[in-house]
């Protein structure tokens, strides 16, 4: 045997010695210290087992209570070496046996039912986690984790499969979470079923006590697209959109919100279903408006629509009145329709309030003076007029306290220009004849040329009359005498 042979090779050469790294041996404890035990394994040197290779329990600090001299120990040879002094060292470990024992035990438990353990994450991979439980390697896929975990996290997992050959197991955190949720859900359903049964009994009693026409207090419990659900004590009913308010309601949240207390009237109680009306318990916009307004009052409102027969005027929210075109003005030519825009504010007097149909009629002309009621003029009368507007069409004037018009054909133009603007200006006064007067239609037409012609005729007639008076009287004899003298 050569001197450079290792201690491991030397031991293997000795007669009757077959121990090698990886062999499982059984021996007797011959010496015991706090953290190392020496075991006789029928070798030239004793095997050594350190405390952390004897148990996985991190809380154990010594062999006290675990082993005593004379105990039999089965372990695996993990290393054979020699020290610098030439002494041999055979290191033993019980961890693999412990692991195998636990794996077999765990495998049997998994076959019998669910096994849940708390394992520690030791490695986070892209698609899986590696965990440790009592020295056992556990693997868990990302899909079985249910939630992300960090290295070092303690996670409650369920063992799903044990691989005895490769000495590891698969586990799942999701199965535990799922089972817990299913359990909680089952408990929740049972509780809700009991509550629902008690609620239905109490609701039926309350519904039976209600009658159509009863007024009750309720609380808004839910907003729907087609109405509002309100709750009494236990009973619940519907307020349809049309019964929510007197005005048109596009969205119930314009009127109420969840939690609001409302006074409602029972409108239907059939087969345990209730319907209510909030509208029946509140004044309509018309009723509210009428409390502070009377016929004859002067009011203002916004024009909201134009109709062939008049204007619709909003006096207050949801209170609309009609201003009939016959009540626009005393002047039949006054085109209020054309001069008024939707959105304009106008002033009028309340002419009528119809409580049965909740309608209001207005009049604007009762607020306006009728100047034509004082006009006393006839065709052919001479009047003086004040020019208020000059255009190519003629002259707008004021006469008798009303508006009148002199057509271009009836305007006197004394000059070469044929433009009316060259002869007249606003503020000038003219004299003309009345050529047309119609109080019902508020028409007053004047004729300046006719007046001028009339004046010229009068002047001519006056002149002619003067000439007749100054001319000497001649007889036929005088005329014959003059002729005979020639």
Both tokens of 181, joined, read: 């949720």
CA-atom Rg of the chain in angstroms: 60
Strands (E), 194-344: 215-223, 227-231, 236-240, 261-270, 273-277, 298-307, 310-316, 319-324
Q: What is the pLDDT of residue 95?
A: 82
Return the CATH number of 7-93, one of 2.40.50.140, 2.30.30.110, 3.20.20.140, 2.120.10.30.
2.40.50.140
* Cα–Cα distance, 410 to 393 (Å, whole number): 10
Residue by residue, DSSP assigns 319-339 as EEEEEEGGGS-S-TT--HHHH
CATH fold of the domain at 294-367: OB fold (Dihydrolipoamide Acetyltransferase, E2P) (2.40.50)
Both tokens of 96, joined, read: 């693999």
| Residue appearing with tokens 């030239």 | 44
Could you tell me which CATH class the domain 375-467 is placed in? mainly beta
Cβ partners under 8 Å of residue 378, min gap 6: 434, 437
| C-beta atoms surrounding 49 within 10 Å | 25
Q: What is the pLDDT of residue 479?
A: 55
| pLDDT greater than 60 at residue 279 | yes
| pLDDT greater than 90 at residue 350 | yes
Q: Side-chain half-sphere of 40: how many Cα atoms within 13 Å?
A: 8
Chain region(s) in the chain for CATH 2.40.50.140: 7-93, 209-281, 294-367, 375-467
Mean of per-residue pLDDT scores for the chain: 87
Q: pLDDT by residue (tens digit) across 32-71?
A: 999 999 999 988 889 899 988 888 777 888 988 888 999 9
Yes or no: say if 434 and 377 are a contact pair by the CB < 8 Å rule. yes
Distances (CA, A) of 350 to 288, 325, 368: 16, 15, 14
Both tokens of 71, joined, read: 């105990």
| pLDDT greater than 50 at residue 3 | no
The CATH code that applies to domain 209-281 is 2.40.50.140
Residue by residue, DSSP assigns 40-74 as E-SSSS-EEEEGGGT---TT--SSTTT--TT-EEE
Q: Give me the phi and psi of 438, to 5 degrees please.
A: -140, 95
Q: How far is CA 10 from the centre of its chain?
A: 88
* Cα–Cα distance, 42 to 414 (Å, whole number): 157
Q: What is the pLDDT of residue 111?
A: 86
Which stretch of 107-116, 285-294, 310-319 has the lowest confidence by average pLDDT? 107-116
- The DSSP bridge partners found for residue 363 are 349
pLDDT band at 120 (very low <50, low <70, confident <90, very high): very high
Distances (CA, A) of 196 to 90, 179, 203, 205, 230: 73, 25, 10, 14, 18
Q: Who wins on pLDDT, 368 or 386?
A: 386
Q: pLDDT by residue (tens digit) across 8-22?
A: 554 444 444 568 888
């Amino acid at each position: 045997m050569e001197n450079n042979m290792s201690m491991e090779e030397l031991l293997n050469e000795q007669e009757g010695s077959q121990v090698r790294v990886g062999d499982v041996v059984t021996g007797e404890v011959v010496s015991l210290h706090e953290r190392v035990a020496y075991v006789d394994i029928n070798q030239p040197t004793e095997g050594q087992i350190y405390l952390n290779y004897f148990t996985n329990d991190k809380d154990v600090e010594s062999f006290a209570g675990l082993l005593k001299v004379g105990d039999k120990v089965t372990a695996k040879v993990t290393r054979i070496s020699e020290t610098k002094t030439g002494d041999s060292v055979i290191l033993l470990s019980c961890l693999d046996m412990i692991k195998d024992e636990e794996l077999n035990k765990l495998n049997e438990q998994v076959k019998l039912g669910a096994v849940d353990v708390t394992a520690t994450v030791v490695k986070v991979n892209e698609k899986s986690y590696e965990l440790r439980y009592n020295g056992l390697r556990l693997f868990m896929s990302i899909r079985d984790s249910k939630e992300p975990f960090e290295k070092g996290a303690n996670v409650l997992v369920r063992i799903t499969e044990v691989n005895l050959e490769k000495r590891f197991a698969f586990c799942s955190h999701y199965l535990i979470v799922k089972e817990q949720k299913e359990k909680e859900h089952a408990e929740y359903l049972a509780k809700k079923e009991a509550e629902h049964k008690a609620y239905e009994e109490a609701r039926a009693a309350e519904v039976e006590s209600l009658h159509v026409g009863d007024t009750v207090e309720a609380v808004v419990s839910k907003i729907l697209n087609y109405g509002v659900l309100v709750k009494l004590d236990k009973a619940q009913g519907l307020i349809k959109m049309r019964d929510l308010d007197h005005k048109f309601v596009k969205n119930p949240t314009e009127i109420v919100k969840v939690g609001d207390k409302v006074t409602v009237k029972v409108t239907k109680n059939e087969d345990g279903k209730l319907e209510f009306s909030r509208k029946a318990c509140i004044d309509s916009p018309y009723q509210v408006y009428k409390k502070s307004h009377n016929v004859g009052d002067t009011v203002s409102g916004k024009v909201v629509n134009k109709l062939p027969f008049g204007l619709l005027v909003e006096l207050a929210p949801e209170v609309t009145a009609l201003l009939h075109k016959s009540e626009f003005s005393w002047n039949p030519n006054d085109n209020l329709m054309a001069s008024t825009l939707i959105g304009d504010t106008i002033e009028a007097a309340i002419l009528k309030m119809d409580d049965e149909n909740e309608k209001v009629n207005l009049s604007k002309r009762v607020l306006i003076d009728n100047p034509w009621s004082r006009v006393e003029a006839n065709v052919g009368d001479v009047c003086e007029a004040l020019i208020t507007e000059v255009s190519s069409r003629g002259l707008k004037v004021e006469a008798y306290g009303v508006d009148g018009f002199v057509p271009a054909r009836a305007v006197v133009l004394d000059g070469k220009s044929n433009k009316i603007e060259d002869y007249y200006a606003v503020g000038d006064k003219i004299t003309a004849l009345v050529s047309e007067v119609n109080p019902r239609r508020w028409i007053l037409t004047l004729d300046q040329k006719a007046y001028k012609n009339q004046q010229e005729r009068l002047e001519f007639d006056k002149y002619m009359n003067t000439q007749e008076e100054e001319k000497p009287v001649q007889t036929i004899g005088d005329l014959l005498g003059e002729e005979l003298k020639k």
